Structure 1
Amino acid sequence: MQTRWISRLLPAATNTRPSEWSRAAIGVSLGTLFSVWVCSLFFGLPVAMHLIGPLGASAILLFAVSSGALAQPWSIVGGYLCATVVSLCVVYVFGRSLDSACLAVGIALLCMCLLRCLHPPAGALALLVVLADPDSASLGWGMLAPVMLSAVCMLLAALAYNNLTRVGYPKKPAEPNPLASSAQSPVDPNITAEDLQNALQQMDAFIDVTPEDLEALIRASEQYARQRSIGEVFAHNG
């Protein structure tokens, strides 16, 4: 029992190639640099550097797990907007303190869930907006401008880089599989771990699982299982 519990703490096996890690790493670096650089041109380097933490975290989502629900365009834009507006409202009412920052991140989470734009780096942004450095605090409600400019720049970088490197972004809804919905299709055989592994390798991407991703993964696994079942029949008859 103890061994099983300890095994849960170990990292899960990845199903991506080193080439994908390298592609994502380059994108993260370029996207963060581009966002901070553009923000510094308009609002100064201190303000831009104050936002670099959340931007770096967002970059990892948008470039490394771009298929996930937390990395879609509305997620980053809506999440940053919610976090900033909520934090500035909290500052207006309660001032700048550790308690206010913790309150702001909690309320921001609720707003993001309601607006379906959950984006974890926006939680860090909420804390930073409340506990701002002097240059950022002096902007007041004008803090919305550098935040949203940085978010849009990061999104544009992700749209350009991901698609140029043949990673479709934003995520498209899964289309119905005619083979799966056909009444004449055979009954699906049981899916084995090997079939699932083959399907994961076929997708070849960092996967933050959404219902669409899971459905596509299951369909791909069913196809591998069907091919394996047919191969076993021919081998048995042969």
Structure 2
Amino acid sequence: MSQPLVSPSRQDWRAHAIGHLGWARGAVGAGAGIALAGIATWLVLGLMPGGGSDALPFLVAPLGASAVLVFCVPASPLSQPWSVIGGDLLSAAVGLIAGHMLGDPWIAGSVAVAVAIAVMSVGRCLHPPGGACALLCALGASGRVPWDWTWMAPITANVLLLCAFGWLYNNLTGHPWPHRPPRVVHIPPPAPDYSREDIVAVLEDWNEVLDVDIDDLDAFVQALLRRGRAA
């Protein structure tokens, strides 16, 4: 019996939804990660001495942006575990310090974001939601009822739980996390070959930061060369 035909448009939709990093995969993972982080954080805070859960949130807004990166672009250098953990937590600490030291929300927020970017860059954990963590904590620490260091409890719990679920979900759905670039076997082409240093040199000439690892670029070019030779 002949197999039922599937229209190209339906095939394209299915691939876009559930195929290679489809939106459905990212949406389900991010939603589940946020839900689990919220529930677990609520339980953790409920066990704190003095009933601290009444004054602390069980979810913080920047976690939503971290979830987009972790589940939708898990190969990005900005989405790796150290980037998420270091970027969010270091930036949150910077925000609390700036808020307490400077007092004024406008000045504290501006300084906190600037310093957080510098700290993340030096610490090799650049993570865009870290800027939101810095701003949130700076505004909270310089508000009418200044946030103290207990606010690091829900933020830390959120980030660690999101990363734990991200590790499980990404690996189970075929996207190893932390990301490991494909192993590259260089095959000398008939034309002059290139080296990894050539890629670095081109990126330096462009003077731009691309959201892709150099080893992934190398693997991509090699795959193109192999495909061209096989054609």
Q: What TM-score range do you get, normalising by the shorter chain?
A: 0.7 to 0.9
Query: Where in structure 2 are the equivalents of 1:113-128 lying within 5 Å?
Result: 113-128=121-136
**Unaligned residue ranges in structure 1 (runs of 5+):** 1-15, 191-206, 229-238
Specify whether residues 169 and 80 from structure 1 end up closer, same or farther in structure 2 by C-alpha distance, changes over 3 A only.
Answer: same
Question: 2:37 corresponds to which residue?
Answer: 35
Question: 1:140 corresponds to which residue?
Answer: 148
8 Å Cα contact 2:184/2:218 also seen in 1: no
Distance in 1 (CA, whole Å) between partners of 2:94 and 2:211 is 27
The CA deviation at 1:175 is: 2.6
Question: 2:197 corresponds to which residue?
Answer: none
Alignment RMSD: 2.7
**Unaligned residue ranges in structure 2 (runs of 5+):** 1-14, 46-52, 194-209
Of 155, 167, 175, which aligns to 1:159? Answer: 167
Of 24, 27, 33, which aligns to 1:25? Answer: 27
The one-character-per-residue Cα deviations of 1:80-133 (angstroms, maximum 9, x if unpaired) are 121122112112211251221111011000000000000000111111112229
Of 73, 84, 98, which aligns to 2:81? Answer: 73
8 Å Cα contact 2:99/2:108 also seen in 1: yes
Structure 1 or 2: more helix by fraction: 1
Of 109, 121, 127, which aligns to 1:101? Answer: 109
- Looking at both structures, which has the greater relative contact order when contacts are Cα pairs under 8 Å and sequence separation is at least 6? 1
Instruction: Count residues with an aligned counterpart.
Output: 190
Of 215, 227, 230, which aligns to 1:227? Answer: 230
Specify whether residues 227 and 189 from structure 1 end up closer, same or farther in structure 2 by C-alpha distance, changes over 3 A only.
Answer: farther
Residues 124-133 or 210-219, more deviating: 124-133
Of 84, 90, 97, which aligns to 2:98? Answer: 90
8 Å Cα contact 1:50/1:133 also seen in 2: no
Using the size of structure 2 for normalisation, the TM-score is: 0.74
8 Å Cα contact 1:79/1:117 also seen in 2: yes
Distance in 2 (CA, whole Å) between partners of 1:140 and 1:222 is 56
Specify whether residues 159 and 81 from structure 1 end up closer, same or farther in structure 2 by C-alpha distance, changes over 3 A only.
Answer: same
Of 192, 216, 222, which aligns to 1:213? Answer: 216
Specify whether residues 66 and 125 from structure 1 end up closer, same or farther in structure 2 by C-alpha distance, changes over 3 A only.
Answer: same
The CA deviation at 1:172 is: 1.3
The CA deviation at 1:211 is: 0.9
Q: Percent identity?
A: 32
Distance in 2 (CA, whole Å) between partners of 1:154 and 1:134 is 27
The CA deviation at 1:176 is: 3.5
The CA deviation at 1:214 is: 1.0
Distance in 2 (CA, whole Å) between partners of 1:146 and 1:139 is 12
Using the size of structure 1 for normalisation, the TM-score is: 0.72
